[in-house]
Amino acid sequence: MSMKPYTILSMCALALASCGGNGNKGTDTTKVATEDTSKAATLNAPAQNMEYCFLRTEGTSNQDTTAVHLIINANKVTGEMKWLPKEKDARKGTLEGTISGNDIKAVWTFMQEGAKDTIAVAFQLSAQQLGQRPFKVTKDGRQETDGAAGYTIIYKLDNCSAFKAAAKPAL
């Protein structure tokens, strides 16, 4: 089992503090625990003013692809999202929204079958992956984000290959 360096340092600090011969009868372990938690949160937090790309494949033989490209600038988020199923009409469009902590709320404006549409999307961003709340179908047959669901659709960090391929000019 491998332990993170800051966890080991925190444990050593606690051990030294509890043995301390400095005359203090009590030791405040809250400060050490708070610092450890803060370091862990910082390591998992997404960097601000960054560009991220994520990819998800699913279906039999992983033939259906969804790609998400996010550009974060302070608390604003812009980007693109492409849903590319193998034998269905694709959805390709732009994302625009905000980020608060790790939570992104955005509107996806896309084209599908020649028609323009929008849907609110909810993501949770970490340094290595992107989680999305799934869609549910409303009574009128439209899709909307299921606010009661968890971030169960997981995208893996990517090198923006799905967006670089589309940006190359035709020869």
Residue 67 confidence (pLDDT): 95
Same domain, 35 and 58: no
Same domain, 66 and 147: yes
Across the chain, how many H-helices and E-strands are there?
3, 10
pTM comes to 0.68
Residue 119 · residue 111 · CB < 8 Å: no
Average pLDDT over residues 112-120: 93
Same domain, 63 and 126: yes
Domain range for 40: 5-21+28-44
171 occurs within a structural domain: no
Same domain, 114 and 138: yes
Partner residues linked to 129 by β-bridges: 156
Q: What's the angle, vertex CA 83, arms to CA 82 and CA 85, rounded to 5?
A: 140
Same domain, 14 and 71: no
Structure tokens at 119: 């849907």
Same domain, 68 and 39: no
Same domain, 39 and 58: no
Residue 128 confidence (pLDDT): 87
Same domain, 128 and 62: yes
Same domain, 131 and 151: yes
137 occurs within a structural domain: yes
Average per-residue pLDDT in the chain? Answer: 77
CA distance 61 to 67: 17
Domain count, the chain: 2
Quick one: pLDDT band at residue 86, thresholds 50, 70, 90?
A: confident
Same domain, 58 and 37: no
Partner residues linked to 135 by β-bridges: 145
168 occurs within a structural domain: no
Residue 163 confidence (pLDDT): 77
Same domain, 109 and 130: yes
167 occurs within a structural domain: no
Residue 148 has pLDDT above 80, yes or no: yes
Q: CA Rg, the chain, in Å? A: 22
169 occurs within a structural domain: no
